[in-house]
Structure 1
């Protein structure tokens, strides 16, 4: 039986997905184009910005199949995607998830949600800028989920590349966004060392295998 279908994790996911459906009702003013990553995070601190349930099940399946010892996530938010990753790590019987988030409010909420779901022991939530918090990550990293600010996908990936295991999976979410284009150009270029596939789930996911 997968942890996704058992309590308390199932109930926490249902609660969070239900709450996330109200993101469109928030009518938050978008941060200015020149806003820093921290300013953007603070402006959207009340928005869940979640992965879909279908996307979450895909993430769970990829982690179960690849069985990475270390999963790294860029962009925790309220922890919805983190829960799918953690459930897979728990069901694999080994491994850990390291995730990073700029918003202090979201760090606290994600930690509480992970504890409520009973998977906090397999997740480390790093508060702060991923370009700093992930600089000292221990490898090998077997799977990376990029789901933070889209313009930072490529810098974060380049930061993690020295720690990627051969055959590591890198998943970029929301690939239909124009700001993801530099990242897509990079992972789709064979010279970068990836075999990359566009997967049609919600706003798009790019699944890339690192040849190493």
Structure 2
């Protein structure tokens, strides 16, 4: 019996290796591009200022996402915050290996979108990934499909608003994953999903900077 494992495709391995290597320079790039940080910026200004910064998910976190999507077999994966597309490649590889489904991802930076689309084409995953350009609070407002798996990895202060926007369409059993739970800006989101009264059972998973895996009840 033949098993497909797209993460082992040389094109995917090469793309991930290249981007992880470039992401190692994030700290130096951020210090050069934004010496005063992001304070007071609008989401668009924030995205423009961070146009050269990868802000990646970890390789271990990407592997976890791949396994979750393979297990859940969602018809539609929605991602808030594509950046250069590292996490999107893990999601797309899982969808491809499931044999069905698609990934809808969102990004504000035109530069990152152009680079990511090139990567998706080079890795042969462009047919399972759709990129929505603009503020996710707008581009996801009129989504014509129901998310079966949701990854929240954009600006942390917007994770809760994006969840609340999509929440009315989430079916019981839908998994919602948020990355970087150690960041203080994610605390309002964590307080919300960790309160069972809001309709989730939530577990913190200790991978790199931490992931919150929440199941819609």
Q: TM-score, normalised by structure 2?
A: 0.95
Shift of residue 177, structure 1, vs aligned partner: 0.3
Query: Does 1:182 pair with 2:185?
Result: no
2:7 equivalent in structure 1: 4
Query: Does 1:125 pair with 2:131?
Result: yes
Aligned residues: CA RMSD: 1.0
Following superposition of structure 1 onto structure 2, how do residues 104-115 of structure 1 map, counting pairs within 5 Å? 104-115=110-121
Following superposition of structure 1 onto structure 2, how do residues 56-205 of structure 1 map, counting pairs within 5 Å? 56-205=62-211
Shift of residue 32, structure 1, vs aligned partner: 4.4
SS of alignment partner, residue 78 of structure 2: strand
User: Which of residues 13, 16, 22 in structure 2 aligns to 1:13?
Assistant: 16
**Alpha-carbon distance in 2 for matches of 1:199, 1:139:** 28
Q: Which runs of 4+ in 1 moved over 4 A?
A: none
**Alpha-carbon distance in 1 for matches of 2:184, 2:55:** 17
1:24 equivalent in structure 2: 27
Q: TM-score, normalised by structure 1?
A: 0.97
Q: Which range moves more in the overlay, 77-86 or 105-114?
A: 105-114
**Alpha-carbon distance in 1 for matches of 2:38, 2:209:** 23
Query: Does 1:51 pair with 2:57?
Result: yes
Shift of residue 190, structure 1, vs aligned partner: 0.5
Structure 1, unmatched stretches of 5+, are none
Q: What is the count of residue pairs matched by the alignment?
A: 211
Structure 2, unmatched stretches of 5+, are none
SS of alignment partner, residue 154 of structure 2: coil
**Alpha-carbon distance in 1 for matches of 2:115, 2:142:** 25
Shift of residue 197, structure 1, vs aligned partner: 0.2
Shift of residue 31, structure 1, vs aligned partner: 4.2
**Alpha-carbon distance in 2 for matches of 1:40, 1:161:** 25
**Alpha-carbon distance in 2 for matches of 1:189, 1:108:** 39
Q: Which range moves more in the overlay, 85-94 or 108-117?
A: 108-117
Q: Which range moves more in the overlay, 22-31 or 158-167?
A: 22-31
